[in-house]
Each structure stands twice: as structure tokens, then as C-alpha cells.
Structure 1
Amino acid sequence: MRLTTFLTLAVTLALAEPSIAEPVASGVAGMAFDHDVPVIMTDGLQLRVNIYRPEKSGRYPVLMLMGPYGKDTSMADAPAYKTSWAKLIAKYPDLCKKSSCRYIRFEAPDPERWVANGYIVVHADVRGAGASPGVLDPFSPRETEDYATLIAWAAHQPWSSGKVGLLGTSFQAINQYQVAALHPQGLAAILPWEGAFDQYREIGYYGGLINVAWEYWWTHQVVPNQNGNAGTPLVDSISGGKDTGAPLPPDALKQNRIDPVASFAKHPFDDAYYQQRTPNGTQIVTPMLAIANWTDWSTEGYRAAASKQKWLRIQTGDHLTPFYSEEAFALQKRFFDHFLKGAPNGWEEEPRVAVQVRRPDGTAWRPASAWPLPGTHPQRWYLNAETGSMSTAPVSVVAKRSYPGSGEGLTFTSAPFEQETEFTGPIGARLWVSSSTKDMDIFAAVRLIDPQGRDVTFMGNSDPNVPLGLGYLRVSQRAEDPAKSTEYVPFHPHLGSEPMTPGEFYPTDVEFSEPTSIVIPKGYRLALTIQGKDFGYGPHANIAHARDYDLPNSDNSGLFFAAHPNRDPAIYGGTDTLATGGAQASYLLLPHVTAR
């Protein structure tokens, strides 16, 4: 929808009577609660929102989020969220002493704490989810248009100051980037906490390989909350019943939802489907604080946005618990106090970038003026197929080594580091490869090995044991756009397929999904594993701490599973070969920090 249309819509909403719902006793002193408030969308459909506001009358800034998980679904009781809730309470045992925790929802801020600090929180069920009817189609243009409508609506309510900020993690961070590009009236600041930006490269496909991990998300976390799903195990924590609306028969339910992985499979290349869902970064000018993770997700939204007032924080840790820490709440509050309340709290003096630098034994925050970090230089680590080693010295002798595409692949290991060394920033890899078939898939993992020969793993966004970095590439989609590529990060347009000639070698630049950070102590080594299947640590892996089984497929690392019918073993299970040395130099490109 065009900006002028939203401006017209905003004026219409401002003159209209506010939507009304019966108030519900919140049970929290000083907080009023309006449950299932209907809001009319541009096509006449009504979405349902919850409004948490101070009991004292007045106009307050609004924090908004819109998601598919159930605005009335308790994290403590829902089967899909019980593990996350248990981790949260274990990490922060005093969390429910600061509020009743009655209104905390998955990946969403606690409204009690914000209301107590002079904010209104509006939480909406997306179209087709929870109490909101319609077709459930995650991240679709229709869904983004709904979000813009809600923001304009909230900005013109009698309890609103006219300024709206967006806050939430994961899904509720991804859609912040989308809606900010539409410039809805009233939107004053966004805080996307660990959200992807590029719908093809960060969600549907990694390096041209379809990501079927979304099937678990869709089946276990989204479909149970579909509007009309009478068989949902989810319980409305407000009424004790179901908050999925009037029951629909199974056929109608299926027609009212669009399976994202099925859609991905129908769109193997970066076509209009993804381009409609990936924002135009030049249109994102709203002040923003972007939070990224060293493992899923993402600095891309920060890099793409044209906002002159933008800040980046890159952290480590799991998917949920850092969002609810006292440090996170204080950071979020300072940001929104400044941009939504005009508080002179010195936010403008905050460093534009801060990164949580990892070590094998802990982390430390470091401020910076830009991303990538100043004082960082690309360092090539040349692979040697003859010795299985890698080093910063170029390899003159050409060598080749083959491996089965369905097997364990090859690993190249450095000598022990002679002094403490830091790598913080984007990763790249140039690999000369051939295959016995017309295509091959590259899965690359950068690993840290301790002096005892054990893998040192790290807590990732979606996996408690991840390596330093993971890269992917379907070689038939190796074409690059030089104008959009950097030395570290190739930009593969993924507009079509160019089959390989069996036995012929091709230079390929592997896409790494995220940057990395590590201070390597003396005596530790780096390793690069290259194979033709998902990388992961199995139950008997030689790692430096106990394996924590957390995902349905615990042998995979990170938020990516490649097991899909489009990986025909007759093609992707062939014999793959890597060449190194001379004119076919293969290397890992690492961000060496020379000035701290």
C-alpha cells in the first residue's frame, strides 16, 4: 500500500469512534486491561487486540506487537513453550517478583512492567491466528498492511500520545522491518530483537538450500493457534477456554492457512514471492535499535536500513532469556523513553555499535563506532588438501581431495595459536570445487578446538551447541552480483540455476549466515569442515561440555535443516572434490581484529 493511502487511512481512523471491548479486571494494581478489542482493517475484516494501559487517564506512548502465537496464551502452560518458560524461570528466578507474570507471552514484552513505567502495550493476533479471523499467511503483504493499519489506529486513539514504538523478538522483530518500510503514521521507533530481514536468504533458503526447520515451527507453534482450530491444546489464560474463535471444519482450516515451507518449495529462486516480503531498506528511516545474535539472526536489517538514527547490538545467548533480563529491559526503556517520550536521557550518546565478544570461558561487551568494527582486516587462511591443514601462508602446490556428498566431508585444521588472537566480524570462504554430478551442496562449519582436541561450542539462538560459524551454498546457484557483494559477503542473486559440468572445477564463494566473534587463546586451533550434508554435533561428539538436547533434530546445528525431497541423492550424493593451492587457492576469510 502506498504511503498516501496510509495517510488517508490515518485521518479516517482519527475521526472514527475508537473500538470498544468490555474491560476485564487485570488483577494488577494500576493497570487497566481491554480484551479482544476489534479493529477494522482496510478490507473490512476485524483483527483482535489486547490493550494494557495505566488506569490513570491520560495520553501515553504505545508499544505494539503483532504475532501468531496467541496474545492470550500463557507461556507457562502451552506445550510448545513450556521448555522456554522453564529456562526463563531458571535463569531469572525473581522474574515473577517484578510482576505477576500473568500476561507474559512468547517472544513478547511483559506489559505490566511497561504500563508501570507510563506506556500502553497493544498486542494483536495476526490475521488468521487466535481471535483474529482470516487467512493465516506469515509475513505476507496483507499481514504487513494489517500491521500498518493497527499502528495508525493506535496513534489516533484517545489514550495515545500519537507515538508508537514496536517491540518484540523473532517473528515480532521480522515484521517490524517490513512495516517500517511502509511509513505508517505514528510510528516513532522500532526495536527488532533478533529478527531476520531477507526473506529468501535468511528464512526460506540458506545459500540456495531450502530450510525445512520451519515445518516444526509451523506445525507446533503456529497452526495450533490458528483461528477456528477447535482442537487446539492452547488455553486462553484470560477466560480459561479457547481463544481461537468460532470452530471451523478441517477443510476450511486447511484452506485458511498457507504453509510457508510448501510455499518455499514452489519458489526455489528469489522471485516476487520473497521480494514482496523483503523490505526495501532505503525506505526504513525510523529510529531503530537492532539486536542481533552471533547465531541466527541478523545484522542485515541494520545494514540495509537508511535510518540516520540507528544502533546495533550483537549478542550471544539463547533465543529467549536475554530479552527478559534486567539489562535488556533497561536498554529497551532508555531507547523508547528517548524516542517516544522525548526524555533527555543521553541516548544519543550511546555507541552506535556494541558487540558481545566471545571467549571459550565467557564474554565481554565492547563499544564501537561502526559495523564491521574499525581496526578489522580480512585474513586469508589457505587450505591444503594434501596435508589437511590451513594457515595464513599461501599454498603453492595444487592438490585435490574428494569426499562423498552424503558423508562426513573434509576437515582442515590450523596449528595451535601461538598468541591470543581475535576474529570478530563477517566470515567468507572461497572454495574451488567439482562434482561427479551436475550439482552439489556445500555445508561449511568454522570450529574452535581446545588443547585437548575437543570442540568448543557456544550457546546459539536456537541451539545450545553451535560452532563459530555456518555457511551454505548450492553450487548451481553460485552466480554473484559484484555490485552488491563485499570482500567477506558474496551476494548471490539466486535467480536461476546453472548446472555444473561433472569433473569441472568452479570457484565458489560460500554464504555464511551470520558474522562471528571469538578471542582464541594460545594453544587453541581453528578448524574448517566442508561436507555435503547438515553439520551438527551428534550424541557422542567430543565437545568441551555436556551435550544439551534441545531441538527435535539434535544432530543439526542452528536453525537450519536441509532434509528435503529437493535434495535428490542421485545429484547431491555424488563424489565431490575440493582443490587447493596455486591458481585454485581455496581459503577461509576471517575478520582479524588488529586494534581493540
Structure 2
Amino acid sequence: MNQQIIATPELAGPIRSETRDGMRIDWDVPLPMDDGLALRADVYRPIAEERYPVIMSYGPYAKLLHFEDGYVTAWRKMVDEFPDVLANSSNRYQAWEVVDPEKWVPHGYVVVRVDSRGAGRSPGVMDPRASRETRDYAACIEWGGVQPWSNGKVGLNGISYYAINQWQVAGLQPKHLAAICLWEGMTDHYRDYIYHGGIYCTFAQNWYDMQLKVVQHGLGTRGHKSRLNGELVSGPPTLTDEELGANRIDMWRELFEHPLDDDYHRERSADLSKVKVPLLSAGNWGGQGLHPRGNFEGFVNAASEQKWLEVHGIEHWTHFYTDYGVELQRRFFDYFLKGEDNGWDKQPKVQLQVRSPGEKFVQRFEEAWPIPRTQWTKFHLQSEAYGLAQAEPGGSIDIAFRALGDGVTFLTDPMESETEITGPIAARLQVSSSTTDADLFLVVRLFAPDMKEIAFRGALDPHTPIAQGWLRASHRKLDPAKSLPYRPYHPHNEVQPLEPGKTYELDIELWPTCIVVPKGYRVGLSVRGRDYVYSGGSGGRLSNMKNEFTGCGPFLHDDPRDRTMDRFNGETRIHIGGGGENYLLLPIIPVK
């Protein structure tokens, strides 16, 4: 990228340091990078002059911005429903998606928050997740490992962005990195985030506008003033719009210019074969559209010999701050950063909050993922009554729907007994199109005996289905070396247009999920030509998101640049019978 950094004055004078709330706080500590730029960090540490393990985060959401000031609806919803978040803390230092130092410093940790390049108090060009950021993060880790207050062991912790870049930097294997906790963080920039099944998702470009540009370094007096210490969150300089634009990438353009899985996406993805540090990967069943695929793929494919998986429900940010989440994180880090004999070495490799309708969760431990006793069961699309059953279809039929429409739903009979579905899901369909392409949106849904749909609280949207998957038919090519029966893998390295009217076999990945289906309920598979919409009404909106929630949260695939009328506004057909298979492969878990 050929962009000129607009010069901004360095923060002058000695480091501002103070003691309050039982902590020694050093504000805006300069961390020198190899190109001469100095990033800025806040350091929260115990008052006693000893050596402590370090919990570090590095990211773009501005270390001096209070959680409530940047994400008011998320904050209020969390603290209203989970008052333990507020307990044992003044909450003066709460920030979006990073640890509360008041819950870590008293337990003998140093908390370091670093503003990434171009964000908050750190100058430079804002280029999210690029290799420059990853190298910066590694330098920060090595800095934290040699400070006089450090015991030489650095752990990384945080949600979303603060988890994603952990996967990336762990691949560089910095010497002082001792453990990572990846709370709801993707690993694959292309598949998890930008192009679901090859279909462009508009979330990232809107996220860039709503969450990054608003805290870009150089906003100065035009940005927030911190309630933490009174400083300008994105200062001290105040730049013009033109200067700010020169100091950040044009994400709306860059993402759309890379429709295949090329070096641009690989640079911003994790190399899991090089991730060898002990890790705890914490996912969310309701995170369809962004993070859970990465949590599962990271856990399975990381080269680490010591790795654990935890999966929970409810909102994206909540459990990271509840007693449940904090205690889990602390046990993990106490073991690897402090060397405490707390039994973590005997912790089962997989800890699941098994989900039932009504947001009911039961904790259960397993030894591996996918669960070894899984009964992989094909539910075939039926030629009559839009059924979904284990029996092969008895006849042949073509089912047509408008290619940009709501498609068709296939239903099982009422379940004869309570049935648990937990794990990855895959589908195979025989499809033709009247045009040279077709986008398929697959949605696994749950219906009560009265045929009312049962939705679930998602990581963001309060009305989400069980699971979702996507595939652009021209991206149907599989990588046989990486594909599994329950998780097909598409290389997304070329476009293979369809011949109108010709039938093609498509293997489609649906993201892992968990639901205990009550007796008498039905499971449905909707094959659609556009995003799922919950029929029960609006899910409201969050202050940091552009769109109203209608079932998919902010993860929409409606950019007209990507879905042009000449390629996608036709008719799609599913061909049942005639020798080809059409099925949904479900992970049925027998009772122990």
C-alpha cells in the first residue's frame, strides 16, 4: 500500500503515572517499533515492586474509551441482565472487549492495553489485521516480557479483534508469549468474515465506518474525551478529513477488489500450523456470520499440544465479563503464566454449554471436537411434501424458486424423542440455474409443534436460527485434501460459471451449532436465495451498528456490486431423485 503517513507530533514529556484504585497506572507508555514509530500503551500493575505475569491486548478500539461511551446499548444490556459484571470493580476502566484491570491486577497480573497503529493514541496508517500490525503485536509482546515489572511471561486475552490478532501473532512465535485466550475470534479472513461461501458480506465495511474511523488517531478534539483520565481518546493531534483519509486504507474498495482467496486475505488470516502456544479457544453458538467457525477450526488445526475449547451462548461480549468467563480465563492463565497447580492440566479438552430452547444451558465436558460419539446422520430432501427424512426419496421432482427470493423449506417429522444436534453440519444439493450463477443461503431452523419458529439469542441478533451456511455456485470446486464429510472446504481460487439449465452437485458447509430438540419439535432446512429473515419482528439495533436486526444481525449479503441482476436474478432449481443426493448431514449426539 502506497500511502503517506501524515506527520503527527509525538507525545511530549515524561510518562504520566499515578496510583489509584489499588493500582499503579502508567499512561501512554511509548512502545518503539522497528520502523521508528512509537505505539502507545497503558499499563495497569500492582503497587508492590515485584515481577508479575502480563495480560496484554492490542487493537483498534481505543484504550482510553470507556465501554459505555462507545457501546452504550451493549453495556446497558449486559449490566442489567448480568450484575456480576459490575461486582468487585469500580468499573472506571471497563473498555470494549478487553479485560477489566480491577479484576486482574489484585490477583497479581500486569494489564497492558496497546492502541494499534493508526488508532486511539497510536499514530500511523490504519490497516486492520495486515502483516504490519502482526509484527507490531509481536514487538509489543517482546517489550512486555522484558520490563522490570514482568516475570517474562506474556498472555494475550480479549474478544473478537483482540482474539483474531492473537491467532495471527501466535504464528510468529514471539519468545515471551506464554498462553493465549481467544474469545470469539475468527481465523480465516476470507471464509469467516468477508466472503461467506464466496458471497460478499457487507459487515466489515460498515464495521470500519462505525467502530474504527470513529476512534482513528488524529481525531483529537473532534473525538471522545476519556472518562478514564481526561485525555483525548484519539489525540492529541486534530487532523483534517483529508489527512485522516490519507492515514487509513479504503476498506470499501480493498475488500471488494479481492473476490477470491488470494494473498490479501492470507496475509490477514492465521497460519494455524505455526500456532504452538497453549491456548483456550472460546466460541459462541450464536455467532453465525463471524467468529465461531474460527474458534472451532483454530482449536482443531492449531499445532499446539496444549489446547482447550469452550463454547457458550448469549451475546457476543457478555460471558467474557461475567464471573463464569473471568474465572475460566483466570484458571487458564494462573496455570500457564504463574505456574499454579490448580488442576488446569486435568481440565477436559472441550467444555460445552449445551443449548436448549429458551436459552437454557447445561455444562458438559467432552474429550475432543467434533464429539467422538457423534452419529453423522443424513436427512434426505424428499420428493413429496417438502420433507426431510433419513429415508431416500421415493420419486423425482424439480423444485424451483426465485433466485433472489425466500426459497423453500424442508421439514422433518416431529421428533419422536429429545434429540441433540451438536457439531459441524454439511449439505449436498443438486442444483441448476437459469443464469450463469446462483447464491445459496442454507438455514437450519427449529419449529415448535404449532409450527411457530423457535429463534435463539445470537451473539448480536436476538432472533437467530440454529445454523447457517452459504455458497456461490460458481465457487463450488472442492479441495479434496482439506475437505471432510462434515466440513467441505472450497479453495475459492477461481470462478467456474454455470451452464444455464445444467445440474451441478454442490457441497455446502454450515457452521457448527448446538441444540437439544425437544420431543415433538421439527427441524427445518431452508434453501434460500437471500439472507434469512426472522418472521417474528425486529430485533432492534445496537448503537455501534448501522442496520436494524432482522435475523442475521449485521452479517448481510446485499451489496449490489456483488449480486448483479444479470448473474443472479433468475430461477434456481433443486433436482430431487434421478441418482443425485440431496441431504442435510446432522451431528446427532447420543446420550452418554
Query: How many angstroms apart in 2 are the aligned matches of 1:180 and 1:465?
Result: 35
Report how far residue 64 of structure 1 moved.
0.1
Q: What corresponds to 2:31 in structure 1? A: 39
Structure 2 letter corresponding to 1:274: H
Q: 1:291 aligns with which of 276, 282, 303?
A: 282
Runs of 5+ in structure 2 lacking a partner? 1-11
The answer on 1:127 being equivalent to 2:117 is yes
Structure 2 letter corresponding to 1:214: A
SS in 2 for 1:484: coil
Report how far residue 27 of structure 1 moved.
2.8
Q: What corresponds to 1:23 in structure 2? A: 16
Q: 2:572 aligns with which of 573, 576, 587?
A: 576
Aligned in 2, Cα 1:164/1:540: closer, same or farther, shift over 3 Å? closer
Report how far residue 239 of structure 1 moved.
3.8
* Counterpart contact for 1:313–1:355, Cα < 8 Å: yes
Q: What corresponds to 1:69 in structure 2? A: 61
Q: 1:566 aligns with which of 562, 566, 590?
A: 562
Query: How many angstroms apart in 1 are the aligned matches of 2:325 and 2:509?
Result: 30
* Counterpart contact for 1:91–1:321, Cα < 8 Å: no
Q: What corresponds to 1:212 in structure 2? A: 202
Report how far residue 553 of structure 1 moved.
3.2
Query: How many angstroms apart in 2 are the aligned matches of 1:539 and 1:221?
Result: 29
The answer on 1:308 being equivalent to 2:299 is no
Structure 2 letter corresponding to 1:28: D
TM-score by length of 2: 0.93
Report how far residue 233 of structure 1 moved.
4.1
Q: 1:146 aligns with which of 133, 136, 146?
A: 136
Query: How many angstroms apart in 2 are the aligned matches of 1:56 and 1:399?
Result: 75
* Counterpart contact for 1:375–1:595, Cα < 8 Å: no
Query: How many angstroms apart in 2 are the aligned matches of 1:539 and 1:262?
Result: 35
Q: What corresponds to 2:126 in structure 1? A: 136
Q: What corresponds to 2:549 in structure 1? A: 554
Query: How many angstroms apart in 1 are the aligned matches of 2:416 and 2:221?
Result: 61
Instruction: Within 5 Å, give how 1:74-473 maps onto structure 2.
Output: 74-78=66-70, 81-230=71-220, 232-245=222-235, 246-296=237-287, 297-298=291-292, 299-361=296-358, 362-473=360-471
RMSD, matched Cα: 1.6
Once the two structures are superposed, residues 21-42 of structure 1 have per-residue CA deviations (whole angstroms, 9 ceiling, x without a partner) of 533435302x000000111001
Aligned in 2, Cα 1:191/1:540: closer, same or farther, shift over 3 Å? closer
SS in 2 for 1:138: coil
* Counterpart contact for 1:426–1:516, Cα < 8 Å: yes
SS in 2 for 1:196: coil
* Counterpart contact for 2:463–2:550, Cα < 8 Å: no
Identity %: 42
TM-score by length of 1: 0.93
Aligned residues: 569
Report how far residue 404 of structure 1 moved.
0.5
Instruction: Within 5 Å, give how 1:454-533 maps onto structure 2.
Output: 454-512=452-510, 514-533=511-530
SS in 1 for 2:104: helix
Report how far residue 113 of structure 1 moved.
1.2
Query: How many angstroms apart in 2 are the aligned matches of 1:232 and 1:20?
Result: 23
SS in 1 for 2:468: strand
Once the two structures are superposed, residues 58-109 of structure 1 have per-residue CA deviations (whole angstroms, 9 ceiling, x without a partner) of 110000001111100011223xx00111012112335334111111100010
Query: How many angstroms apart in 1 are the aligned matches of 2:271 and 2:303?
Result: 9
Query: How many angstroms apart in 1 are the aligned matches of 2:13 and 2:328?
Result: 33
Report how far residue 44 of structure 1 moved.
0.7
SS in 2 for 1:34: strand
Report how far residue 229 of structure 1 moved.
1.7
Runs of 5+ in structure 1 lacking a partner? 1-18, 542-546
Query: How many angstroms apart in 1 are the aligned matches of 2:373 and 2:222?
Result: 53
Report how far residue 217 of structure 1 moved.
1.4
Query: How many angstroms apart in 2 are the aligned matches of 1:131 and 1:540?
Result: 41
Query: How many angstroms apart in 1 are the aligned matches of 2:221 and 2:453?
Result: 44
Query: Greater shift after overlay, 223-232 or 528-537?
Result: 223-232
Query: How many angstroms apart in 1 are the aligned matches of 2:109 and 2:344?
Result: 18
Query: How many angstroms apart in 1 are the aligned matches of 2:54 and 2:234?
Result: 25
* Counterpart contact for 1:381–1:587, Cα < 8 Å: yes
Query: Greater shift after overlay, 291-300 or 398-407?
Result: 291-300
Report how far residue 463 of structure 1 moved.
1.3
